[in-house]
C-alpha cells in the first residue's frame, strides 16, 4: 500500500491513500461478523461482567461504597482488606449440558472483575461491614472517633 503525502502551501499535511477502494482487514472482518453471520451466533455472545460502577458517599461518621452488580449472590463476592487497600472481586462460572439421543450441547461461561480502593487512615478497619440487597453491594466504612466531624459549638468569652 502506498501513501502519498501532499503538502499544501499553507503547510498542513493532507494524506491521500491510493488504495481507497480496497477494504482493510479489520473492515472486512467487521463486515463478516456484523453482516454475514446469522444473528444466532452474534446475539448469544456474552463478553462477561463489565467493570461495575461505584458510588462513594461520605458523611460526618462514615464512608459508604455502593456497587451495582445485579444477577449475583452474596456468596459470589470476595471482599479483602490488606494494608488499607479494600479489594472487591467476584468470579462466576456457568456451565450447562444438554444430552439428547443424537447430540450433546455444552455451554460454559466465565466472568470476573476486581476493584480496589485505597482507604484513608481515618477508617476504623475493624468495624467495616458489607451487605448485598437487590443487586447493590454496599460497604459501610465507619470513621475512627478522632476523625469524626464534631458539631459546631459556641465558645463563651470569660
DSSP codes joined into one string, 63-121: EEEEEE-TT--GGGEEEEEETTEEEEEEEEEEEEEEE-SS-EEEEEEEEEEEEEEEPPT
Residue 157 covered by a domain:
no
Could you tell me if 87 and 67 lie in one domain?
yes
The answer to the question of residue 155 being in a domain is no
83: in domain: yes
Helix (H) or strand (E) segment spanning residue 133: strand 129-133
| Range of the structural domain that residue 19 is part of | 3-43
- pLDDT tens, per residue, the chain with 158 residues: 444 444 455 444 444 444 455 556 656 555 555 554 444 444 444 455 578 889 999 988 999 999 998 888 888 899 999 999 999 999 888 788 888 888 778 887 777 889 999 999 999 999 999 999 999 999 999 998 887 777 888 889 98
| Inter-CA distances, 61 with 67, 119, 141, Å | 20, 15, 9
Amino acid at each position: 500500500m502506498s501513501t502519498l503525502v501532499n503538502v499544501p502551501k499553507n503547510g498542513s499535511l493532507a494524506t491521500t491513500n491510493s488504495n481507497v477502494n480496497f477494504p482493510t482487514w479489520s473492515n472486512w472482518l467487521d463486515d463478516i461478523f456484523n453482516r454475514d453471520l446469522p444473528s444466532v451466533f452474534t446475539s448469544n455472545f456474552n463478553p462477561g461482567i463489565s467493570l461495575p460502577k461505584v458510588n462513594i458517599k461520605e458523611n460526618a461518621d462514615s464512608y459508604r461504597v455502593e456497587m451495582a452488580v445485579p444477577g449475583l449472590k452474596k456468596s459470589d463476592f470476595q471482599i479483602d482488606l490488606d494494608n488499607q487497600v479494600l479489594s472487591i472481586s467476584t468470579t462466576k462460572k456457568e456451565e450447562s449440558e444438554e444430552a439428547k439421543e443424537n447430540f450433546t450441547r455444552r455451554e460454559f461461561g466465565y466472568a470476573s472483575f476486581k476493584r480496589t480502593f485505597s482507604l484513608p487512615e481515618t477508617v476504623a478497619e475493624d468495624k467495616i461491614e458489607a451487605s448485598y440487597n437487590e443487586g447493590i453491594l454496599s460497604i459501610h466504612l465507619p470513621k475512627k472517633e478522632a476523625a469524626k466531624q464534631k458539631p459546631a459549638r459556641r465558645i463563651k468569652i470569660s
